[in-house]
Amino acid sequence: MRTVLISGASRGIGRAVAERALADGHRLSLGLRDLEALKQTPLDPDLAGSERVLLCPYAAEDPAAAQAWVEATNQHFGGFDSVIHSAGIFSRVPLLFEPGEEQDIAHTINVNLMGPWWLTRAAWPQLVAHGEGRIQVLVSMSGKRSKGRLAAYSASKFALLGLCQTMRNEGWAAGIRVTAICPGWVNTDMAAAVRSGPSDRWPTQSMDAEAMTQPEDLASMSAELLKLPNRAVPFELAVSSSLE
């Protein structure tokens, strides 16, 4: 059994990952903007039990929130050994952005890059102390290649993949294993927002929701990663439902 911090667990991939981790017997500390978002769901501590699930306020762009979440988890569970970064936002800002869109760029970088950086930094002593710490980061195929004109989003994800590589370097001797999970199209609200946006900023693609990778598919992969010994944890999982 592991004790896992999971960001972005209120919906989409993060929620599927959290529900699978709970079903597998792990203890969960979930960082959320809205603590009411999981009421009357399998992740509600009133239903799952406070000994299994802790909900903490967390905003990825706030470094103080990361530290407070870590401290609350230590107090509640007596420590933890794994972190899964699933919180992230989408941005349509292109290379030739309009005046005022630089604020969107900064916000995207703060959430998608600095959020995982701040949380990992706060969690690091616990991960080192365990000896077999785990970090999973939902990056995106947009951190490996750029399509269309979504400069801000792609830049944040390329930077995040670089950060994952450095996390791996820094934590290797202490037994921390890092996996960057890089999905393409996933059947989530974010994918729906991308596909409904201006086609000049992202290439159009005809794909039914059922043909996309499902959040539960990624949850299954995440679950297997938590079981693997230090000697067998992959650094990168590229998961695409289309030919690239």
Strand partners, 236: 180
CA distance 221 to 137: 12
79 Rama class: left (phi>0) / alpha (psi -120 to 50) / beta? left
Q: What is the mean pLDDT of the chain?
A: 94
Give residue-wise pLDDT tens across range 93-137.
999 999 999 999 999 999 999 999 999 999 999 999 999 999 999
Whether residue 140 is predicted with pLDDT greater than 90 in this model: the reply is yes
Domains of the chain, start order: 3-239 (3.40.50.720)
CA proximity to 227, closest of 140, 163, 134, 107: 134
At 99 the pLDDT is 95
CA proximity to 136, closest of 170, 178, 167, 165: 178
- Catalytic residue chosen out of the listed positions 117, 118, 124, 153: 153
More confident residue, 204 or 170: 170
Q: Respond yes or no: is residue 58 known to be catalytic.
A: no
At 181 the pLDDT is 98
Whether residue 198 is predicted with pLDDT greater than 70 in this model: the reply is no
Q: What are phi and psi of 177, to 5 degrees?
A: -115, 130
